[in-house]
Amino acid sequence: MAMTMTQKILAAHAGKTEVHAGELIMAKLDLVLGNDITTPVAIGEFPKFGRETVFHKDKIALVPDHFTPNKDIKAATQCKCMREFARAHEIKNYFEVGHDCGVEHALLPEKGLVTAGDLVIGADSHTCTYGALGAFSTGIGSTDMASGMAMGQTWFKVPSAIKVVLKGAPKKYVGGKDVILHLIGKIGVDGARYESLEFTGDGVAALSMDDRFTIANMAIEAGAKNGIFPVDDKCREYLKAHGAKEPVVYAADEDAEYRKTIEIDLASLKPTVAFPHLPENTHTIDEIDEIKIDQVVIGSCTNGRISDLAIAAEVMKGKKVPESVRCIVIPATQKIWLEAMEKGYLKIFAEAGCVVSTPTCGPCLGGYMGILAKGEKAVTTTNRNFVGRMGHVESEIYLASPAVAAESAIQGRIAAPSDK
Amino acid sequence: MLAKGKTWKYGDNVDTDVIIPARYLNTPDAKELAKHCMEDIDTSFASKVQEGEIMIAGKNFGCGSSREHAPLAIKTCGIACVIAASFARIFYRNALNIALPILECPEAAEAIKAGDEVEVDFDTGKIIDKTSGATFEAEPFPPFMQDLIKAGGLASYMKGL
């Protein structure tokens, strides 16, 4: 039977020669991830599985990134709980704040912890990011995480799939964020509910790995179980450069069944912004009237990578953020922070009037480091613009690319840089 | 397994950020979380909900983050069952894993009004709106998922394998 790329990875991890959409399987896990919010709940559930030790000390990654550096006593207590669990179980991939740590979905690929063909679960919905590396990876809850840590396996319903054929190459200042916002705008926040988004086509080659991470990262915002890219030379080079295990390459069968096929001409895309309060409320930049803003956030697991900061720095170089705007820049990992410093980006941001933070998820989920007051509007490179996501229920979030966020910070209103 | 109670009704795309805002996720304590359940779209819910009541919602209920705190808060509030037109997938599996009964039934989700008295039979998938007299049939769960719920969640189920 013909299978999608996702189905092949699931079949291999379930010890089956084939699986079909809708089938329920038990599959073995290559990596189990948790953060400082979801892991404490999983630690509470862990003893209920009747195992005294974790299934594999090297196949668990624990990343304190959401409320870190600890925002309050309760957050500190959660991090302490996770740290002590990591020590007690000798978990190799525990990353301490400041010690090569960072936002989990930027960190794990950077540390070479995921390779093509892997099956990864993470107690964080944006775990789907690693589909950029040709892995099956999906977000799950804390009980699943506990199951994964204890047993090294959990259950899956094999998904059907939507094929997304990317064609051509995007224009300057159009990137991965615009591609995924365009797609979500087209199919809706439940357009791929319980399905895989399998990206393919000649346009894939025109996208950087960072663009692909951004696209796979937001597959969940269309309701998808996972988003996945084919393994090409760019992907292999990335895996090699980051010391990942030898990739196991799966490709969709030519006659694999897709529920539908969507074509996207990358060259025709324009900078795209998702209006409050759903990622599907998209508008291209030319359709947007003047919207004045109070805050800009450039960072997160979606757009806090070095190429994101490079674009923002290019846009902001020599310019000033008006006093009416607070611009917060958050390199996603310690390594990205250092590289941004070495390349002079942090200086450009600071001189423009931005505040540069240590790596944290903080503002993206309304945790801390940039909470919005009633009536305030923000342009952010994060992934969700739900009611109250970044603060007050009457604040507004506009999701955009780093290029749009940087230009908006400079102009004090939603704007895209000119590509001339 | 039966549930019977008054309903609370919400719309489409109710996300986990409004079910339990992230600002309260600095504790895994279910009772603390329950105090703030639905607070960003309904400030009265957490203080007024009674044990055994039923939540009704539109499509894509529980979209957004993977936080298990969301079904946990709903369950700890006393909600006996959530009936929605459809569920976002992570919420769906989290609910099953912690044995919060959920049913997908677009017709019931649309027709049942807030405050109606509703009776749900999980074994048959039958939903009766006692107030209007209407009955609905939800798609029954596949056997594996029924076993998961009967076991009381994933931990008990996996331990029994």
pLDDT band at B143 (very low <50, low <70, confident <90, very high): confident
pLDDT tens-digit series, residues A317-364: 999 999 999 999 999 999 999 999 999 999 999 999 999 999 999 999
Instruction: Give the pLDDT score at A172.
Output: 96
CA–CA gap between residue A154 and residue B52 (Å, rounded):
30
Q: How far apart are the CA of B96 and the nearest CA of chain A, in angstroms?
A: 10
Distances A355 to A277, A347, A352 between C-alpha atoms, Å: 26, 10, 9
Cβ distance B66 to A140 less than 8 Å, yes or no, reads yes
In the 8-state DSSP scheme, what is residue A307?
A: H
Amino acid sitting at position A183: L
| Residue in chain A nearest B43 by alpha carbon | A393
- Which pair of structure tokens corresponds to residue B70? 């969301």
What's the ipTM? 0.96
Cis peptide before A277 (omega within 30 of 0): yes
pLDDT in tens, chain A (420 residues): 899 999 999 999 999 999 999 999 999 999 999 999 999 999 999 999 999 999 999 999 999 999 999 999 999 999 999 999 999 999 999 999 999 999 999 999 999 999 999 999 999 999 999 999 999 999 999 999 999 999 999 999 999 999 999 999 999 999 999 999 999 999 999 999 999 999 999 999 999 999 999 999 999 999 999 999 999 999 999 999 999 999 999 999 999 999 999 999 999 999 999 999 999 999 999 999 999 999 999 999 999 999 999 999 999 999 999 999 999 999 999 999 999 999 999 999 999 999 999 999 999 999 999 999 999 999 999 999 999 999 999 999 999 999 999 999 999 999 999 965
pTM passes above 0.95: yes
Span B69-74, average pLDDT: 98
The Cα of A40 is separated from the nearest Cα of chain B by a number of Å equal to 6
What burial class does residue A178 get, using C-beta atoms within 10 Å of its C-beta: 0-12 exposed, 13-18 middle, 19+ buried?
A: buried
CB contact under 8 A, B60 and A146: no
- The answer to whether the Cβ–Cβ distance between B60 and A189 falls below 8 Å is yes
State both tokens at A103: 């936002």
Task: Give the chain B residue nearest A126 (alpha carbons).
Answer: B65
DSSP bridge partners of A226: A196
pLDDT at B49 over 90: yes
Measuring CA to CA, which residue among B31, B103, B2 is closest to residue B61?
A: B103
Lowest mean pLDDT among A48-62, B66-80, B133-147: B133-147
DSSP 3-state of A55: coil
A24-28 and A396-399 beta bridge pairing:
unpaired
**In this predicted structure, what is the pLDDT of residue B139?**
83
Nearest 10 degrees: CA dihedral of A104, B62, A215, A375? -90
Residue A399 near residue A315, CB atoms below 8 Å:
no
SS3 A228: strand
Nearest residue on chain A to B71, judged by CA atoms? Answer: A141
CA distance B79 to A26: 30
Mean pLDDT over the full length of chain A: 97
Chain B contacts of A49, Cβ < 8 Å? 155, 158-159
Residue of A nearest to B27 (CA): A74
CA distance A181 to A214: 10
Burial (CB count within 10 angstroms: exposed 0-12, middle 13-18, buried 19+), residue A410: buried
Model pLDDT, residue A1: 87
Q: Residue B63: closest CA among chain A residues belongs to which residue? A: A223
Q: How many CA atoms lie within 13 A of A34 on its CB side?
A: 30
Range A41-77 burial, b when 16+ CB lie within 10 A, else e: bbbbbbebbebeebbbeebbbbbbbbbbbbbeebbbe
- Inter-chain CB proximity A50 and B69 less than 8 Å: no
Contact between A193 and B88 using a beta-carbon 8 Å cutoff: yes
Mean pLDDT, residues B144-154: 87
CA distance A65 to A96: 9
Compute the nearest-CA separation of B101 from chain A (Å): 16
Which regions of A210-299 does DSSP assign to beta strands (E)? 226-228, 260-265, 272-274, 282-284, 295-298
Closest Cα in chain A, distance from residue B81 (Å): 19
Chain B residues near any Cβ of chain A (below 8 Å): 13, 15, 17-18, 21-23, 25-28, 40-41, 59-60, 63-69, 71-72, 86, 88-90, 93-94, 97-98, 142, 144-145, 153-156, 158-159
Cross-strand partners of B135: B128
User: Which residue in the block uniquely carries the two structure tokens 């964080």?
Assistant: A124
Q: Cβ separation of A384 and B98 shorter than 8 Å?
A: no
Nearest residue of chain B to residue A191 (CA atoms):
B60
Amino acid at A364: C
Distance in Å, alpha carbon of B69 to nearest chain A alpha carbon? 8
Nearest to A311 by CA among A234, A217, A179, A211: A211
State the Cα–Cα distance between residues B115 and B134, nearest whole angstrom: 15
d(CA A144, CA B154): 8
Yes or no, beta carbons of A386 and B18 under 8 Å apart: yes
CA gap A413, B7 in Å, rounded: 43
Chain B interface, best mutation among A120, A302, A389, by max B CB count within 10 A: A389
CB atoms within 10 A of CB A394: 12
